[in-house]
Structures are given as structure tokens and as C-alpha cells.
Copies of this chain bind each other. A is one copy, B any other.
Amino acid sequence: MCQLLGMNCNTPTDILFSFEGFHRRGGLTDHHADGWGIAFFEGRGCRLLLDDRSSVESPVAHLVRNYPIKSENVIAHIRKATQGEVNLANTHPFMREMWGKYWIFAHNGDLKDFTVAPGQYYRPVGSTDSERAFCHLLEKLRTRWDTQPELDELFAAVQEEADTLATHGTFNFILSNGDILLAHCSTQLHYIVRQAPFTKAHLVDDDVTVDFSSVTTPYDRVAVIATQPLTDNEAWTPFASGQLMLFRDGAPLLSTMMDAGA
């Protein structure tokens, strides 16, 4: 299965520590060698770095590890191909413009028998179920609104479309427009919010520890979302199956209310 990583912050933050552990899941500690990608929002702009090689041997990953790009919203993905061959057009994250902003999407899972007619506004370029789902989701949102609606309306619409798409299979995804970050879980997704008082964190995949108190201010707040927890000494919260969360400024703002028994 693919690996997802998202970060949403209240101040531009580099993702070097999380990426250090995450990128090792691309062919070293795990078997996800079918390409990878990372998108960094910087203001309204977006820097999208893609590689169809394993993230361990990628020169682009080397760049990311050595170039501390600061961003308030980041989405990264390591691919284990299930549908669509291994090539650049099929490499996540995918980017489209909607309502005058860039939207970035990465998916973990497999949607079976999911085909739709070409959209008016959004059409896939590659051959993955993931890009088809992304285009379909944006098409539904764009058809409903000509400009971006209020966040609670947007949240409800994404939940509705995610519920429908998830009937085709596994649909864990992260979606961002550089302001908000939406994360949906079908099977596996975890998050953590780091804020003052900051402590030390130790990576699962590598013997690396960072003392966040030395690199933050008391006002910083950072939400990290990942398929599996990236650190082994912090309390990550698992998403429930079917749960959608909307993060802004480093904290959850909206979440699906799950039944007590879920």
C-alpha cells in the first residue's frame, strides 16, 4: 500500500524531520519503490516535486532532504502501483486549479471499477484510479459552486463525495488548497498536533531524534497526518474508518462525528 504524509501549520515550517523517516519507507524500510512526490505550498504558489524512481535513490529526494523549504501545507506520497503503470503522469500528488487556487491531492488505496465520463472542468492525464477520483471530486465541487463556499459547506460536500467514492474500495486521501488541508480515512490514517510545550520526538524508521522545543516558538502549531505514525514516543490519534477531518492553522477545525460504536 502507498504511504501518505500531510502537514498543516500556523507558521511556515520545514518538513525535514518527518520526511527523513517517511522517505525511507520508499524502498528501504518498506516496499514502495514505484515513485514518489511532494507538494509544498508557499503562499498561493505550489512547488510540486515528482519522481518516478524510488524515493531512497531519487536525486529529487536528496534535494528535499537538503533544502529546508518552509511551508504551511505539505502533501507527500510514496507509491506502490496498483492501477496504472509506473511513470511520471501516474505519480502523486496531482495538481489542478479550482476557484483560483491550486489543489493538491494524494491517495492511498485502490478503487475498483471506478470509471466516469470526461468532466467539463477536470480530466485525468494519467491512467490511475486516484487521478480519476481526484478529477471527479473537483468536478462535483466545481459544478456545485462557481467560487469557494464556506468551509462547513465544502466539508459536507467532500464528505458526501468521499463516502460515495469509498464504496469502490480503499480511499485514504489528503487534499489541500494551501489554506486548509482535508484528510479522509477508509482504512489507515493517523495524526498528531504538536504545540507548546514542545518535546523530543524519535523516528520509527531511523535512529533520529529532534528536540522541537529548540526549533519552534511557543506560538507554533503543526498538525502531521500520516498513514502510520512516524515517531515511536508520541501519541498519534488514529482516524476512524469513514472519518474526514479539516485542518487549518495546525489544528483540526472540522471532523466527521463518528458513532460511539465506530
**What is the interface of chain A, defined by CB distance below 8 A to chain B?**
42-50, 52, 59-60, 63, 66-67, 87-91, 95-97, 99-102, 118, 120-126
Q: Are A88 and B121 closer than 8 Å at their CB atoms?
A: no
Task: Tell me, in angstroms, the Cα distance from A52 to B50 when the chains sit together.
Answer: 19
Q: Are B96 and A125 touching (Cβ within 8 A)? A: no
Q: In whole angstroms, what is the CA distance A99 to B42 when docked?
A: 28
Is the CB–CB distance between B88 and A42 below 8 Å? yes
Q: Which of B45, B88, B99 contacts A46 (CB 8 A)?
A: B88
Set B48, B66, B126: member contacting A48, Cβ < 8 A: B48
Rounded to whole angstroms, the CA-CA distance of A119 and B47 in the bound complex is: 24
* Distance of A59 Cα from B60 Cα, bound (Å): 11
Instruction: Contact check, A47 vs B88: say whether CB atoms are below 8 A apart.
Output: yes
Instruction: State how many angstroms separate the Cβ of A217 from the closest Cβ of chain B.
Output: 23
Q: Check if B44 sits within 8 Å of A126, measured CB to CB.
A: yes
Bound complex: CA A23 to CA B39 (Å):
24
Q: Complex Cα distance A123/B102, Å? A: 10
From B45, B87, B121, B125, A125 is in contact (CB under 8 Å) with: B45
Chain B residues lying within 8 Å of A48, measured Cβ to Cβ, are: 48
Check if B123 sits within 8 Å of A45, measured CB to CB.
no
Q: Which residues of B contact A52 (CB under 8 A)?
A: 42, 45
What 9 additional pairs, Cβ within 8 angstroms, besides A44-B125, A47-B50, A100-B124? A42-B87, A45-B50, A45-B88, A45-B125, A59-B66, A60-B63, A100-B123, A100-B125, A121-B121
A45 touches B91 (CB 8 A): yes
How far is B48's CA from A50's CA once the two chains are assembled, in angstroms? Answer: 8
What are 23 of the A-B contact pairs (CB < 8 Å)?
A: A42-B52, A42-B88, A42-B89, A44-B87, A44-B88, A44-B125, A45-B50, A45-B88, A45-B90, A45-B91, A46-B88, A46-B89, A47-B50, A59-B66, A59-B67, A60-B63, A63-B63, A95-B95, A99-B123, A100-B125, A102-B125, A120-B121, A121-B121
Which of A96, A97, A99 has the most chain B CB atoms closer than 10 A to its own CB? A97
Q: Which residues of B contact A46 (CB under 8 A)?
A: 88-89
Considering the complex, give the chain B residue whose CB is closest to the CB of A51. B47
B90 to A118, Cβ gap below 8 A?
no
